[in-house]
Structure 1
């Protein structure tokens, strides 16, 4: 009520000659719709034009906007926003019964007429008033429709779908059983996600035994394409089996080593049959044929080298970070990240040792295999995959990993797939050269077209040149239509740094001990420090205590012994995959920020999200419909909204595309505050970090030689342990 009275006071003081009709109209809007105005711009749009007309142009647009801002601020102060109405003192008593007798329709709105004081006539253009009311009604209808969609029930996500042109030749080959090739050819297919077309008329050719890296921007459909292939929504010859490493292994009582061995179904079925036949003979229930069958089984087991399988599975698990004790733990004892490693181990083990025996797994689909791995495991995986004998299609945003593993690169862009021979660096060089040539050809043709068109325009009506003009027109029609280079928009990220510098010490741990279990120390006598100039990367095996140290630095965990010191003005921004996983999937990114940081306009939230590449339609789509990389960008926007002066980032590059990783590195290099990050991405580490900490054996050691020295140390360990 106080806010409504204040609004009325503002109107009377600014517009002393305001007539009753306009006063009633404006106060009616503020009374009925004030809570719906999300910004001052909406209020200006609703009443600004009328107020300026009433002032008879005595107030310019800036003055009108200032008045609307005061009205908007007054409404914002009224937290209850209960429905209110203003009271107007009439000049004389009114006999309603006498007035209504003159109206055929008693429901006619009499208030504007009653509010006109004696001798007043309305200064408002009736047509403009009607237009303003129509605009306001349209806005209200749109908002009601949006709100009804939000509350209409549970969120229904769009689904991916694929379609492919029929091929009679492929159908005949498949039905006849003559197609024994392990090459994969998927021609003229489309992939959509809801109403969005991801691929149109695309072709995908995978030659047997080659390793393909699938690259492209976040949200273009790389992961969706893998799912369409894995589900056989696209035609894959039936004799080619597919393994899609995407889901983690289910947790049960099966030991980790056994869960890997079980994915070799041929070996498992032979061993099971051998056990059953042996039990039958020992129980005296044999029929006399068991001996011959057992001989066949032993021959097949020897052929597939079944006795070497446990050792091979153990080496794979060890390479991915499972020590001897962990290999005997049940799968239910592992976290989601370790179960993803188990899924990867199963895929690696499923490759048979000889091409002649390669019948179980000709095509492996790997989605971001390095995301859950530490640097040590990635280095081992790179080396292992270089000996892979079947076909791999891997989605990865790790540039160094693709350079080490991929024999070919498939680039997804502009709803199509382009294939390049060679590793990622070679792809970048060839792509740049192609784009330059394409642009040169386009510009040359445009000049040629303009030259011909000048001739046609000059002699179009010259009878003597009619035949030449016709010839030139036909020439234009026959020219192939070249298109200009479709440049991908540059990804830009910016970390706000509008804060004052302050002197060290900023953040340090002094002689810190920490444990979860008194019998097992995570850290002993740990001493580290960082300031606003720091660019530190922490590496080490999973389980060595990297995330624990970050939490001690942030103050989330208290040291058992020792001191944590943090500057009183220190403001830490923390990012981890956990924050991405905890995003509310049922609302949009704009709503997410509005709930966590209320009090700003939608434009401000959109502008902040735009700083991380979440703009336009992406900002208002449900978070659940965003790709993994887009969700990470939303988490970055959420983290930086409060303008921290020191960032602690735990695996920030997971799910980000290469362009965004490069943009993230540039943004962090420009940031004026401090940085400590945990990362497995070698290129990202080299771009950003000036100091390398290795977390192992209960302490943290600084490596003077940087990442090159750390890589050499790991390779030497592999050689000693026999993992390579």
Structure 2
């Protein structure tokens, strides 16, 4: 059991905790949440005994073994698999002692000690440790071949995966994970979620991934108002409980304010009258004793929206027999083509909302870069529609900002002719105000830098958004704001993300990159999860090294209602099972069509409203004045665009309805 008793903590002059109490039970899986700077990482540091509270006590069993992810990874020549196994410190100590003992001159005592050490190694599962290490690294996205490479050969993000593998290799009673999904992609996150569900000890996770928290934790601890508040259930349950608390507290405050006003009114009226003086004094005491209820502070909401695209070609782009990849110099003024995704025949239509799936290294980012024009096709042609405006958020977009410059400098660079006040107002809508607007962004948090990168994209009014892991540095609040903004975005979207909540809420179809090909994935994220586990199982059984991206492509997940063989008349139970299975299959087949129809309804309603506004303005006599010539031209262009788009959307709506009717 972990107990926080009256714990207070200061960082500099800022109080993080003030006489906070909390009890956590053995085996609890806890999600630790709170605003940036609330003290989540400091709480971890106190548990690791790296930071001491200014007051109070933190108590948990001294015999507990603790594991956590190291933040630094030295550039070692040690093989990745050996580095991961190093996480089992006790095992490594036994191995070192055995090697030292075996080097001693033979004696009866030495022989006995060697036997004891072999027994201890067996108890520590030494003879399965390499297999366990390989399973961990496969789950985290390493191929068998990569496991033999030195640690120094990996990038920073991959070294953090190795540190995570060390923490998971360590037998522990308490596991502390601080943003473990930050350096993982979707397939590794799904694997980690499954691993943590089976972890037998006490787990505390700091995470901004709500789906990940929902899948793993059964307790939420919220750092709020310098207290530690415990909620039973996962993150979604916490949100419901928190909303109910806010509503209840608002009602209690309103009731108390009425009571206070009533008491004050009586005092004001009668305190000067001798006959009522005693009663007035009594009410004054009651008023002074009434503790003023402090409202529960809801997190300050942040929201933004993508500006409506001015127009959009249809199709936005067409790729014919495109090979996506890189040309690498060979040293003789020539280049060698390295194809990652081959034979791409792809047309991107207005209004599509695509989630791009695929295991790590399959080529998702390469494809996005090719569509964005960041790299040229190795072969084939990509034709862009006239008027296409791309908003591209790269996986490392934050690093591409000028860290010695301010948010305002970035905006002026983008819009040099726009008034400074207008740019300041725009940045204010992204929570950049006061001195932040003109301060260098170097000391900004990763989330603040990501928010600036999003602001720069929003300003450009894109009609095609290409987003490659846009949530990497975002907290829960900003992720939710991005989700809402993308759900209402009027243009076309292609998204790569490990955030399943974001994918579910903003996309309505999936494509997958696998075996070097781009193809439809006719299923949902649960189907994708099933496929990932199958491919990882196949990879773990391979006797020879296989690259993580070279797993077999998924079989199409098209759901069809099949007519089964006749069932004997007496077997009603089996017939009912088959009927239920057919209903389930039919429902699954309807789901993507119904989702698309719903999206089409929303788009048609918005376009109709936009067209009505245009027609209202065109009915105004002053629009035909010479001074409004440019506005008139824009209105006529927009009117034609709306008519064209409505025609396209309505035709698709009819086709989808017909498909739905055919399914019954």
Q: TM-score range by the shorter chain?
A: 0.7 to 0.9
Cα shift at 1:584: 3.6
CA distance in 2, matches of 1:289, 1:498: 82
Q: Show the counterpart of 1:349.
A: 169
Cα shift at 1:348: 0.9
Q: Show the counterpart of 1:301.
A: 121
CA distance in 1, matches of 2:385, 2:146: 41
CA distance in 2, matches of 1:377, 1:400: 14
Which one of the candidate residues 477, 483, 500 is aligned to 1:682? 500
Q: Structure 2 matches for 1:465-544, cutoff 5 A?
A: 465-499=276-310, 501-516=311-326, 521-544=339-362
Q: Show the counterpart of 1:310.
A: 130
Cα shift at 1:582: 3.5
Cα shift at 1:312: 1.3
CA distance in 2, matches of 1:429, 1:488: 14
Structure 2 residue 7 is the aligned partner of structure 1 residue 188: yes
Q: Show the counterpart of 2:241.
A: 430
Q: Structure 2 matches for 1:203-214, cutoff 5 A?
A: 203-214=21-32
Which one of the candidate residues 70, 76, 81 is aligned to 1:257? 81
Q: How many residues align?
A: 527
3-state DSSP of counterpart to 1:483: coil
Structure 2 residue 444 is the aligned partner of structure 1 residue 644: no
Any conservation in 2 of the 1:438–1:484 contact (CA below 8 Å)? yes
Q: 1:672 to 1:319 in 2, by over 3 A?
A: same
Structure 2 residue 407 is the aligned partner of structure 1 residue 589: yes
Cα shift at 1:686: 0.8
Structure 2 residue 286 is the aligned partner of structure 1 residue 462: no
CA distance in 2, matches of 1:490, 1:245: 31
Q: Show the counterpart of 2:139.
A: 319
Q: Show the counterpart of 2:366.
A: 548
3-state DSSP of counterpart to 2:374: coil
Q: What TM-score do the two structures reach when normalised by structure 1?
A: 0.68
CA distance in 2, matches of 1:349, 1:390: 13
Structure 2 residue 160 is the aligned partner of structure 1 residue 340: yes
Q: Structure 2 matches for 1:223-234, cutoff 5 A?
A: 223-227=41-45, 229-230=47-48, 232-234=50-52
1:51-102 residue CA offsets vs partner (Å, 9 max, x unmatched):
xxxxxxxxxxxxxxxxxxxxxxxxxxxxxxxxxxxxxxxxxxxxxxxxxxxx
CA distance in 2, matches of 1:230, 1:508: 55
Q: Show the counterpart of 1:90.
A: none
3-state DSSP of counterpart to 1:289: helix
In the alignment, structure 2 segments of 5+ residues that lack a partner are 329-335, 542-664
Q: What TM-score do the two structures reach when normalised by structure 2?
A: 0.74
CA distance in 2, matches of 1:629, 1:585: 14
Q: 1:187 to 1:602 in 2, by over 3 A?
A: farther
Q: Show the counterpart of 2:384.
A: 566
In the alignment, structure 1 segments of 5+ residues that lack a partner are 1-181, 353-360
Cα shift at 1:420: 0.6
Q: Which of 215-224 and 624-633 deviates more?
A: 215-224
Structure 2 residue 331 is the aligned partner of structure 1 residue 331: no
Structure 2 residue 479 is the aligned partner of structure 1 residue 661: yes
Any conservation in 2 of the 1:589–1:623 contact (CA below 8 Å)? yes
CA distance in 2, matches of 1:255, 1:520: 27
1:151-203 residue CA offsets vs partner (Å, 9 max, x unmatched):
xxxxxxxxxxxxxxxxxxxxxxxxxxxxxxx62526322243x6554444444
Q: Show the counterpart of 2:208.
A: 397
Cα shift at 1:682: 0.9
Cα shift at 1:651: 0.4
Q: Show the counterpart of 2:181.
A: 370
Q: 1:626 to 1:484 in 2, by over 3 A?
A: same
3-state DSSP of counterpart to 2:208: coil
Q: Which of 226-235 and 258-267 deviates more?
A: 226-235
Cα RMSD over matched residues? 2.6
CA distance in 2, matches of 1:243, 1:600: 53
Cα shift at 1:524: 2.0
Q: 1:577 to 1:524 in 2, by over 3 A?
A: closer
Q: Show the counterpart of 1:386.
A: 197
Q: Show the counterpart of 1:57.
A: none
1:677-716 residue CA offsets vs partner (Å, 9 max, x unmatched):
1011111101100121111100112122333332333344
Any conservation in 1 of the 2:42–2:51 contact (CA below 8 Å)? no
3-state DSSP of counterpart to 1:481: coil
Which one of the candidate residues 103, 115, 121 is aligned to 1:279? 103
3-state DSSP of counterpart to 2:205: strand
Any conservation in 1 of the 2:467–2:496 contact (CA below 8 Å)? yes
Which one of the candidate residues 584, 589, 606 is aligned to 2:424? 606
1:624-674 residue CA offsets vs partner (Å, 9 max, x unmatched):
333322221012123333333322111011222222222212212322222
Structure 2 residue 57 is the aligned partner of structure 1 residue 247: no
CA distance in 1, matches of 2:421, 2:47: 40
Q: 1:314 to 1:674 in 2, by over 3 A?
A: same
Cα shift at 1:413: 3.0
Structure 2 residue 515 is the aligned partner of structure 1 residue 705: no
Q: Which of 215-224 and 416-425 deviates more?
A: 215-224
1:490-537 residue CA offsets vs partner (Å, 9 max, x unmatched):
2211223352x2332212321112444769641221122213312111
Cα shift at 1:617: 5.1
CA distance in 1, matches of 2:116, 2:363: 51
Cα shift at 1:602: 4.3
Cα shift at 1:310: 1.3
Cα shift at 1:248: 5.2
Q: Which of 559-568 and 412-421 deviates more?
A: 412-421
3-state DSSP of counterpart to 2:203: strand
3-state DSSP of counterpart to 2:9: strand
1:201-240 residue CA offsets vs partner (Å, 9 max, x unmatched):
4445443332211223445443454456546213566766
Q: 1:270 to 1:519 in 2, by over 3 A?
A: farther
Any conservation in 2 of the 1:408–1:421 contact (CA below 8 Å)? yes
Structure 2 residue 97 is the aligned partner of structure 1 residue 268: no
3-state DSSP of counterpart to 1:625: coil
Any conservation in 2 of the 1:614–1:633 contact (CA below 8 Å)? no
CA distance in 2, matches of 1:599, 1:616: 22
1:572-629 residue CA offsets vs partner (Å, 9 max, x unmatched):
2211241212334444433443456545454333322223233345445542333322
Any conservation in 2 of the 1:218–1:656 contact (CA below 8 Å)? no
Q: Structure 2 matches for 1:621-640, cutoff 5 A?
A: 621-640=439-458
Q: 1:577 to 1:716 in 2, by over 3 A?
A: closer
